[in-house]
Amino acid sequence: DWRLVAAQMYQESRFDPQATSWVGAVGLMQVMPKTGADMGFSELARPENGIEAGVKYLAWLRDKFEADLPVADRMWFALASYNAGSGHIADARALARSRKLNPDRWFGNVELAIALLAKPEFANKARFGYCRGEEPVKYVREIRDRYDAYVRVAVSDLAASGSASALLRGALAGGAGAP
């Protein structure tokens, strides 16, 4: 969904294609150069390269999770992995299970467990160790909230237009609702 990509892009770079993070991530989607190369892309500050690399990497992360997970939770796990690494998400899911939380649900479950990985008593027992757990929690929540706002705008546009065909015409012309 283009609105999810836009929400993530804003979270990563505030739509600045020249953005570079303190760890070296580059471009609109803040892709690490090695990750971009692994995905088949270079010159990540070029918007088309950075976006394609980021979307391909996000899809790769999503596909690492079980296909029978709820679609939304699979995406939340992929986004959290994009931010914190899939190893930390695996640790958080195991910790969630051990704390009688649902390891297959992000909100209210795994997000609670990953926050604990910032504490030594939990990080020292985790395979991938310490994680600044509040970062992926905030990252996923802010993307979800922004995505929901983008969806509401598209629905509002549909309601105001009075028909789905009017929204589709707008989308084809590059307006709201474009896929």
What is d(CA 160, CA 179) in angstroms, rounded to the nearest whole number? 19
Point out the catalytic residue in the list 12, 43, 111, 121: 12
Q: Which residue do the tokens 């150069």 mark?
A: 33
Measure the CA angle with vertex 15, ends 4 and 57; round to 5°. Answer: 50
How crowded is residue 175: how many other Cβ atoms within 10 Å of its Cβ?
A: 14
Q: Three-class SS of residue 123?
A: helix
58-77: b (≥16 Cβ within 10 Å) or e: bebbbeebeeebeeebbbbb
Residues listed for the chain:
179
| 12: annotated active-site residue | yes
Catalytic residue list: 12
